[in-house]
Chain A
């Protein structure tokens, strides 16, 4: 009897061990394709080519969005990212041996980007967009590797993530990966290394969905922080609306493909200027994309887009919202114009403004209260500062003003038009 029990216990234990091994095995890194070439034995010319392609991969992938340091060093780490579960900080990805990725092999970088698994099996939080990067090509990651290793190491220690229990138990990310991490596609293709060879929409999709990881902010997440099926459908993240950028969403707010290209390359379009976490996307990433890639991105975002709507305008809002109108003429019209036309390099037009057309007034109200700093956009294009009105407006006045703006040129004017 005792022997039977002992055997049974042994079997159960074995089963548990096997299950754990299988589980963590499968939720660890998947297959790693062989390196595109021997990175140890590059001639000068190839190395230089890979460094410049790698730099482009880093820009298109917007590594700096999260890996920038507090003092503006692009890859030294420190940018906080706030989630419902706590705050994670972008890590040092300079080739520092002590703090960065100096001891990474090319395979290690592949595993981190595609599977979210750092050397030693440490699981990265899905704030690292490996569910987007999962389809980055091996060629592109190799080029990125050569580029990153060619940078000056910065000896800056990483800051530990500040996550609430139980999210601070990293091995548990294995369960998350089991459910939410997509499998890397079979042979993701040659990526950016393909140059002209990749068809435009393919390249656009690769830039938007994979490298550019737009969905990390623009796709709604579920309670487990995983992106839902409403791809690019818009959501609230870090206290601001990341708008719906599906073809339907964009067309409903009057965007054309040309507007998108202008917005991505300069930060400014008839619909407004980049704000909140989108502005750094311009300064770290999209302003560096050559015209051809910008066009590929816009073409992909505007694929099968319905006819864009005309900018809504409802003059009846003046009588319907007298308080809001009075505040607008008294505090805003000096720059934005009584008729909402704006001024070049000074203030964006209210007519056609995308922020007014969002269902959620959050961004509008935050911009009014906090203002927007003066900014160098791309090239010689600048926008002057918008002052903050938090000390000027009482809460009820803010509601009056934003209610008026949305009724005059925004979401409620669209509703009136559609009636």
Chain B
């Protein structure tokens, strides 16, 4: 008999009902099976591919966690953002505007099959929000982007389009960098 526990959390800004779930349920299954939020992808199931990455909004700001190996026992009472929660929506829930990160991925043709994309959206968005608080010199952006997206695996593309898209968003958004990348960059 698996022990049960009652959990609730804030997903994309909305608090869930308290739900009775197995205590060792993983956040990914919770999103899929209990909330019908199926955008978050299941890849390796052991924390190495980041297809399942979601944003945890905690005291340290936005940080990505792999939902496949993060249990509801830890997620309980915390706030998360899934891929469904990034774009603006109208009353009926239709998307009215995507985020700059999402738009850049589209403009750069960053993905093909898109299986990895929700994870990349989470990682790139979390990076943008981290730089809002803690900007870096413009010439370091390429390295910072690589570091932030390095754990996400994509089997279709060469990663470069994801990295370039993220870099362009960061360089084009005032306040994320110190100095002018184009003037100082080589």
Residue positions of A touching B, CB distance < 8 A: 326-327, 329-331, 333-335, 338, 343, 346-347, 384-385, 387, 391
Are the C-beta atoms of A334 and B48 separated by less than 8 Å?
Answer: no
B26 touches A334 (CB 8 A): yes
- What distance in Å separates the Cβ of B2 from its nearest Cβ neighbour in chain A? 8
Q: Are B46 and A384 in contact, CB atoms less than 8 angstroms apart?
A: yes
Indicate which residue in B47, B60, B66, B73 contacts A329 across the interface (CB closer than 8 Å).
Answer: B73
Query: Is residue B24 within 8 Å, beta carbon to beta carbon, of the partner chain?
Result: yes
A330 and B73 contacting across the interface, CB-CB below 8 Å: yes
Question: Do the beta carbons of A330 and B74 come within 8 Å of each other?
Answer: yes
Shortest distance between the CB of A399 and any CB in chain B (Å): 17
The answer to whether A334 touches B69, judged by C-beta atoms less than 8 angstroms apart, is: yes
For B1-37 the 0/1 string (1 means CB < 8 A from A) is 0100000000000000000000110100000000000
> In the complex, given contacts A330-B73, A331-B74, A333-B24, what are 18 additional A-B residue pairs having Cβ atoms less than 8 angstroms apart?
A327-B74, A329-B23, A329-B24, A329-B71, A330-B70, A330-B72, A330-B75, A333-B71, A334-B70, A334-B71, A335-B69, A338-B2, A338-B24, A343-B46, A385-B48, A387-B47, A391-B60, A391-B63
Q: Which of B37-84 contact A (CB under 8 A)?
A: 46-48, 60, 63, 66, 68-76
Distance, CA A334 to CA B24, complexed state (A):
8
Task: Name B126-147 residues within 8 Å CB distance of A.
Answer: none
Contacts of A327 in B (CB 8 A): 73-74
Show 25 residue pairs from A and B whose CB-CB distance is below 8 angstroms, ordered by the A residue.
A326-B23, A326-B73, A326-B74, A327-B73, A327-B74, A329-B71, A329-B73, A329-B74, A330-B71, A330-B73, A330-B74, A330-B76, A331-B70, A334-B69, A335-B46, A335-B47, A335-B69, A343-B46, A346-B46, A347-B46, A384-B46, A384-B47, A385-B48, A387-B47, A391-B60
How many CB-defined contacts (below 8 Å) exist between A and B? 45
Q: Determine the interface band of chain B, counting residues with CB < 8 A from chain A.
A: 10 to 19
A384 to B69, CA, bound (A): 14
Q: Could you list which residues of chain B lie within 8 angstroms of chain A, going by C-beta atoms?
A: 2, 23-24, 26, 46-48, 60, 63, 66, 68-76
Residues of A within 8 A of B46 (CB): 334-335, 343, 346-347, 384
Chain B residue at smallest Cβ distance from A387: B47
Closest to A318 in B: B3
**CA gap between A334 and B23 in the complex, in Å:** 12
Complex alpha-carbon distance, A347 and B73, angstroms: 20
Other-chain residue from B24, B48, B73 in contact with A384 (beta carbon distance below 8 A): B48
Given the complex, which residues of A lie within 8 Å of B66, measured CB to CB? 334
A144 to chain B, nearest CB (A): 41
Give the distance in Å from the alpha carbon of A331 to the alpha carbon of B26 in the complex: 10
